[in-house]
């Protein structure tokens, strides 16, 4: 920085703040990343941030200098040793937006307005200082210290800690392939409901087990995020595959104090770690829009899960970091070119690519991570770019089958819907000849998750170094949010059929670890009993539903008939299983199936017959169940969820453990081995 500017900068800052007296609080560091309880409270335990040996993460601090001062330089220390710097990996971010927009004249604090740099409420001279792409190979708890220096020479420092979790080498065979099957929102009740419907019970015993029930090891997972006992799907997934807690809405990053959603301090994903270390490939397979929180939380770094354009771009742009070889799900709207991103009209193709949710990375992130810099390019034809990169593209089930008739592709992109794919209940109805729903949504030929899983595993297993696959049954959660008790159990069944495919793969390939879990429970679902009314009675007089719940022995054992396709011939059986919701919003209940799915918040072509939400679905017909939460959907809960494991390394997964522990168990299985 030029000498003159250095001398005058404090004065400029004061002027920018409107000339008012700035907060006279002593200089301090208000955030130190990675997060630690040592920094937050002075207590050394629990150690919050943990990493595998060599796993990359960023170091960052938010520094609030003395009034009138700015930060001249900074240094991070680990265990008292200066942290070496790679070229271009440092940054010092301050508020550079227009003072009248970004600084409150009265308080001298940042306003966090659009076009500004820093979040609201910070002193105008705050600096966010970063060192990107750090790693440490030495197991144990380490002290992290930062020293920031003001222009007047004063030093400001803070101390935190993090842990490197060691990998015991030579413990046994390693897991070459890692398959994580994630039933979004699937708690114990969802699993049980799927079993009751798919297998049936007799004289108190299940007549069969779900595929996930047959896994030899099961544990319970604590699912809290960094900032709540109740997580959303972003940290719910990313906590498993980074080993660290994220805030809600954030994927592969720690929270920070800047407004840019793509500059947060990063933490390396399992996929990146194992691609870098062992050359593994990555597959992301979901029934949701591929930009959704769970799929994105396996290879994309952002603090805003809604940034669809930037998220799908990163999937392709950073494949050299993640090893991405398979991407399948919905979400085609993010891949279509929006030629101008301007007010001039373009041919309407349904593209929702916009500059506002695209990405460009700061240079320190690019230098520290070797990441693609990104570009605000709504005009990008991302399907074409995937194809140019060697991916074969399948827009529907028939095309997917056709591709494989010509041989197993090396890389595969499947985009089977404009946004989320239709749910199993409606896809199966379409295959049985009633395409009312899938036709109206515009995508009558969508694959089931087990078919996608089979295709994905064929592609991924071509990599001699193995793979990491995340396979998500996304709409267990989405339909539980909507309290559609006929649709989400079929989502569980569809998901379990994918589990069976993965298990069969692992039986043929014993160097495979398969984990079945969820990111969180959704809706507080509970099997409260079964109907004491027949289906015909309820259809003839839905008002009977008020007194339909048979509890205890009155519930008996609901019986469903399973068709050859593996799904119930109907969910509307006599004396059907009934579901209650402990995290519910208002809904009208009839206990009868609805022909059209309730509007999913991301569905593309909602038929006009689709109810807008559960608070109007069956209104005027069903009885009102008063909810305990605001809004019109059920919500996630903080209840522990089950995790089952099969294959090489499965024995590590038992007891009660934190969701971040999964990363280290997988690390041990994949790198160190397990007897």
Partner 1 sequence: MSSLALSLARVLALGAALFAASAVPAHAAAGHPGVVKPPASLAVTKPLGAAPAGVTDLKFRELFKLPVGPQGLEPTEKLAGLDGKRVRIVGYMVQQEPPIAGGFMLSPLPVAAGDADDSYADDIPASAIFVTLPKGADTIVPPLAGLIQLTGTLHVGARDMAGAGRVAPAVLELDRAPERSLLRQAKTIATSSAKAR
| Interface positions, 86-145, toward partner 1 (CB under 8 A) | none
Binding mask 503-542 for partner 1 (x = CB under 8 A): --------------------------------xx--x--x
Ramachandran angles phi, psi of 188, nearest 5°: -60, -35
Which listed residue (58, 496, 632, 640) binds partner 1 by CB under 8 A? 632
Q: Smallest gap, in angstroms, from Cβ of residue 539 to partner 1?
A: 5
Q: How far is Cα 184 from Cα 112, in angstroms, rounded to an integer?
A: 33
| Interface positions, 331-350, toward partner 1 (CB under 8 A) | 332-333, 336, 338-350
Which listed residue (64, 150, 286, 352) binds partner 1 by CB under 8 A? 352
Strand 549-550 vs strand 577-581: parallel, antiparallel, or unpaired? Answer: unpaired
Which listed residue (192, 258, 294, 357) binds partner 1 by CB under 8 A? 357
Q: Under a CB-based contact definition with an 8 Å cutoff, are residues 292 and 603 in contact? A: no
Interface with partner 1 (CB under 8 A), residue total: 81
Which listed residue (37, 143, 171, 439) binds partner 1 by CB under 8 A? 439
Q: Under a CB-based contact definition with an 8 Å cutoff, are residues 457 and 505 in contact? A: yes
Q: Smallest gap, in angstroms, from Cβ of residue 343 to partner 1?
A: 5
Check binding of 599 to partner 1 (CB under 8 A). Answer: yes
Q: In what order do the strands lie in the sheet with 127-134?
A: 28-33, 57-64, 127-134, 90-94
Task: Name the β-bridge partners of 61.
Answer: 32, 129
CB nearer to partner 1: give 342 or 363.
342
CB nearer to partner 1: give 461 or 531.
531
Q: Under a CB-based contact definition with an 8 Å cutoff, are residues 425 and 440 in contact? A: no
3-state secondary structure 362-390: CHHHHHHHCCCCEECCCCCCHHHHHHHCC
CB nearer to partner 1: give 108 or 235.
235
CB nearer to partner 1: give 410 or 574.
574
CB nearer to partner 1: give 487 or 665.
487
Which listed residue (139, 596, 623, 625) binds partner 1 by CB under 8 A? 596
Q: Smallest gap, in angstroms, from Cβ of residue 346 to partner 1?
A: 4
Q: How far is Cα 170 from Cα 674, in angstroms, rounded to an integer?
A: 8
| Interface positions, 189-248, toward partner 1 (CB under 8 A) | none
Check binding of 458 to partner 1 (CB under 8 A). Answer: no
Binding mask 543-582 for partner 1 (x = CB under 8 A): ---------------------------xxx----------
Which listed residue (546, 605, 629, 651) binds partner 1 by CB under 8 A? 605
| Long-range contacts formed by 403-406: CB under 8 A, 24+ apart | 404/455, 404/458
H-state helical runs in 397-463: 397-405, 424-431, 436-441, 449-460
Give how far Cα 210 sits from Cα of 192, 201, 253, 346, 563, Å.
9, 12, 35, 50, 16
Q: Smallest gap, in angstroms, from Cβ of residue 119 to partner 1?
A: 13
Check binding of 635 to partner 1 (CB under 8 A). Answer: no
Q: How far is Cα 369 from Cα 272, in angstroms, rounded to an integer?
A: 10
Q: Under a CB-based contact definition with an 8 Å cutoff, are residues 652 and 623 in contact? A: no
Which listed residue (613, 637, 644, 668) binds partner 1 by CB under 8 A? 613
Check binding of 634 to partner 1 (CB under 8 A). Answer: no
Which listed residue (101, 631, 655, 656) binds partner 1 by CB under 8 A? 631
Q: How far is Cα 365 from Cα 128, in angstroms, rounded to an integer?
A: 14
Q: Smallest gap, in angstroms, from Cβ of residue 581 to partner 1?
A: 18
CB nearer to partner 1: give 291 or 369.
291
Q: How far is Cα 64 from Cα 10, in angstroms, rounded to an integer?
A: 13
Q: How far is Cα 597 from Cα 481, in angstroms, rounded to an integer?
A: 12
Q: Smallest gap, in angstroms, from Cβ of residue 485 to partner 1?
A: 13
Q: Under a CB-based contact definition with an 8 Å cutoff, are residues 308 and 334 in contact? A: yes
Scanning 54-62, 160-168, 434-442, 510-518 for contacts with partner 1 by CB under 8 A, the matching segment is: 434-442
CB nearer to partner 1: give 130 or 307.
307
Scanning 44-52, 365-373, 626-634, 659-667 for contacts with partner 1 by CB under 8 A, the matching segment is: 626-634
Q: Under a CB-based contact definition with an 8 Å cutoff, are residues 453 and 501 in contact? A: yes
Which listed residue (444, 566, 582, 638) binds partner 1 by CB under 8 A? 444
Structure tokens at 572: 């509307």
Q: Under a CB-based contact definition with an 8 Å cutoff, are residues 610 and 596 in contact? A: yes
Q: Under a CB-based contact definition with an 8 Å cutoff, are residues 241 and 20 in contact? A: no
CB burial readout 277-302, b (16+ within 10 A) else e: beebbbbbbbbbbbbbbbbbbbbbbb
Structure tokens at 344: 């001039």
Scanning 436-444, 463-471, 633-641, 651-659 for contacts with partner 1 by CB under 8 A, the matching segment is: 436-444
Q: Smallest gap, in angstroms, from Cβ of residue 603 to partner 1?
A: 7
CB nearer to partner 1: give 3 or 406.
406
Q: Smallest gap, in angstroms, from Cβ of residue 591 to partner 1?
A: 11
| Interface positions, 373-412, toward partner 1 (CB under 8 A) | 378, 383, 393, 395-396, 399
Scanning 57-65, 125-133, 270-278, 604-612 for contacts with partner 1 by CB under 8 A, the matching segment is: 604-612
Check binding of 414 to partner 1 (CB under 8 A). Answer: no
């Amino acid at each position: 920085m030029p000498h003159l500017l250095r001398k005058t900068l404090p004065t400029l800052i004061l002027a920018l703040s409107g000339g008012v007296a700035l907060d006279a609080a002593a200089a301090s560091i208000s955030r130190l990343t990675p997060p630690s309880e040592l920094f937050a409270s002075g207590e050394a335990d629990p150690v919050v941030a943990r990493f595998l040996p060599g796993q990359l993460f960023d170091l960052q601090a938010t520094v609030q200098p003395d009034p009138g001062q700015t930060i001249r330089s900074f240094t991070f220390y680990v265990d008292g040793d200066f942290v070496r710097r790679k070229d271009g990996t440092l940054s010092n971010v301050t508020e550079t937006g227009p003072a009248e927009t970004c600084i409150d004249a009265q308080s001298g604090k940042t306003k966090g307005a659009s076009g500004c740099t820093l979040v609201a409420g910070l002193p105008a001279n705050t600096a966010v200082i970063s060192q990107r792409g750090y790693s440490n190979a030495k197991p144990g708890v380490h002290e992290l210290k930062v020293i920031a220096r003001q222009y007047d020479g004063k030093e400001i420092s803070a101390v935190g800690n993090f842990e490197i979790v060691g990998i015991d080498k030579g413990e046994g065979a390693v897991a070459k392939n890692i398959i994580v099957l994630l039933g979004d929102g699937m708690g114990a009740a969802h699993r049980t409901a799927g079993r009751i419907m798919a297998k049936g019970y007799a004289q108190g015993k299940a007549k069969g087990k779900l595929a996930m029930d047959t896994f030899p090891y099961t544990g319970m997972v604590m699912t809290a995020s960094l900032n709540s006992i109740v997580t959303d799907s972003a940290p719910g997934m990313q906590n498993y595959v980074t080993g660290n807690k994220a805030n809600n809405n954030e994927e592969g990053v720690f929270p920070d104090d800047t407004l840019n959603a793509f500059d947060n301090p990063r933490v390396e994903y399992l996929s990146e770690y194992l691609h870098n270390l062992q050359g593994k490939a990555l597959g992301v397979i979901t029934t949701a829009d591929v930009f959704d929180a769970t799929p994105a939380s396996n290879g994309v770094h952002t603090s805003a899960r809604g940034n669809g354009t930037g998220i799908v771009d990163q999937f392709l742009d950073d494949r050299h970091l993640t090893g991405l070889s398979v991407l399948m799900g919905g979400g085609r709207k993010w891949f279509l070119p929006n030629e101008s991103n301007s007010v001039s009209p373009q041919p309407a193709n349904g593209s929702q690519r916009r500059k506002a949710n695209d990405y460009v990375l700061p240079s320190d992130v690019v230098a520290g991570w070797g990441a693609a810099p990104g570009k605000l390019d709504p005009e990008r034809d991302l399907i074409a770019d995937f194809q140019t990169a060697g991916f074969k593209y399948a827009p529907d089930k028939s095309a997917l089958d056709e591709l494989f008739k010509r041989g197993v592709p090396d890389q595969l992109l499947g985009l089977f819907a404009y946004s989320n794919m239709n749910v199993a209940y409606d896809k199966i109805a379409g295959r049985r000849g009633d395409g009312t729903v899938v036709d109206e949504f515009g995508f009558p030929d969508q694959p089931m998750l087990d078919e996608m899983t089979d295709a994905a595993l064929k592609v991924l297993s071509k990599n001699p170094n193995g793979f990491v696959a995340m396979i998500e049954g996304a709409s267990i959660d989405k339909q539980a949010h909507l309290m559609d008790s006929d649709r989400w159990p079929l989502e569980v069944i569809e998901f379990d059929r994918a589990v069976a495919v993965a298990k069969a793969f692992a039986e043929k390939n014993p160097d495979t670890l398969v984990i079945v879990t969820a990111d969180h429970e959704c809706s507080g679902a509970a099997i409260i009993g079964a109907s004491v009314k027949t289906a015909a009675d309820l259809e003839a007089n839905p008002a009977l539903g008020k007194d339909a719940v048979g509890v205890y022995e009155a519930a008996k054992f609901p019986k469903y008939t399973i068709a050859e396709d593996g799904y119930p011939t109907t969910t509307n059986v006599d004396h059907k299983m009934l579901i209650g919701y402990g995290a519910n919003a208002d809904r009208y209940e009839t206990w009868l199936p609805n022909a059209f799915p309730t509007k999913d918040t991301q569905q593309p072509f909602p038929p006009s017959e689709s109810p807008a939400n559960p608070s109007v679905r069956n209104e005027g017909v069903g009885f009102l169940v008063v909810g305990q939460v605001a809004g019109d959907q059920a919500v996630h809960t903080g209840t522990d969820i089950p995790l089952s494991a099969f294959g090489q390394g499965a024995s590590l997964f038992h007891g009660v453990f934190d969701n971040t522990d999964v990363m280290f168990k997988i690390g041990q299985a994949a790198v160190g081995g397990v007897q």
